[in-house]
A and B are shown apart, each in its own frame.
Chain A
Amino acid sequence: MEYHIRRLREYGELANIGEIARRYFAMNAFDGVLTIIGVLMGNYSAHVHSASTVIVTGLSTCVAMGISGLWGAYLTESAERKRDLAELESHTLTDLSQTKIGQASRAAVVVVALVDGFAPFLAALVVLSPFFFTALWTDITISYYIALGLALVSLFALGAFLGKISRQSLIVSGVKMIGAGLMAILASYLLRVAGV
């Protein structure tokens, strides 16, 4: 086990996995939260009062985002890494596929694809979670409010995470992210008011 962890750490340094995974995690979790805000506001505007309907539409969206992230990242990262490796091979004039560099490249593709798939899926699932407990408070409006509240908290946490990485104020970064969420909620609300 220790050997595998050491190997993975080695690959992480060789292929710069940490930086890319962090970037994809933040970007895709953000996408996930905002997309599910859109789905929930759509359901709210359409006067959907059935928790199971919201859960089904929400889960379908979560799964679709997960598959999109996983597949898209796998194909994109794979293509980029192959191009990079081929370019390096043109300098070393050897086949690097069986070296640590080749192995690190392949590990990077897997890690990035997993992060890209699971980040939006889990972020959206967290926001959707209150609807699983609607029976506890019976009124679905409470679920909507808790879910949107969770969305804003998640966005703040994401912002704080980015602020920590860039060594800036965690609060300011968190508030910047909340701004995006509030804009999404407001835009959906205005669409409803406009009678669309």
Chain B
Amino acid sequence: MNIVVCVKQVPDTHEVKIDPKTGTLIREGVPSIMNPDDKNALEEALRLKDATTGTAASASGGATGGAGAPGGPVSVTVVSMGPPQAEAVLREALCMGADRAILVGDRAFAGADTLATSKTLAAVMRKLDYDIIFAGRQAIDGDTAQVGPEMAEHLGIPQVTYVEKVQAEGPNGGIAGHPAGGAKAGAGKAGDAADIASSKAAGARLRVTRATEEGHEEVLVGTPVLLTAIKELNQPRYMNIARIFASASTSVETWSAANLDVDKAEVGLTGSPTRVRKSQAKDAKREGVTMKEAPRESAERVAYMLREKRFI
């Protein structure tokens, strides 16, 4: 089974500051990170892989040979669309245990909105053999949550968003959960591994739990499918020394528009139906009163004002 995980390098928005004079974003010195939801997606893919290989530290180095063959092991490919420096998040993914990493970049892709981005990524997927495409629900720099579903639509495959749990539903109807804790699977692991690995051949389904406002729903879906991960799905692992060494010989592939069958009119700025007309730092001010008295006096004044305004 092949799992492709989409990851994005984003500025850590917790650290983003606004220049008070110009009202623009200060990008210098803001650390770049792997988008958090994407990391959950990657972690889940790696757990599905661990379940089939039998060890948690499954970084055997290099791409897994014969991946995708019926009954074969799970292979995890990470894809990122972005500038050259986005290689850093792909290296991190390899150090976490991914088998293959592809950086998709081209001047033709610059300025893409979500539709053009999803068209480009869909073209990447068409060049890969996939059973599950995993993405984060949304990236913290844009918060749109659109690229995943849009990509699924272009590829004509079903989607499940807000995923908080994934289980392989075995060919015999049995459900094999994979261990939330990672390595210690106990008795459940063998069946799980077989179900995951054979899901392509047998056409087995996935049982996916997706969050809703009111709780969650469990859905059944066949592969290929696109899933988007939320924080509740798992706790991502750290890179470890063994994996760092094991992945050292794996290079990040770089793909450009030339590697893809894309219509240039459909990607980048040209292919983007939406344009940013203006952007500005948020002006959030009210003409309020400031109270610096002792707590009791301040409280008294607040209560008085609330009563004056008939709030209480």
Asked whether A and B interact, the reply is no
B residues contacting A by CB (< 8 A) are none
A residues contacting B by CB (< 8 A) are none
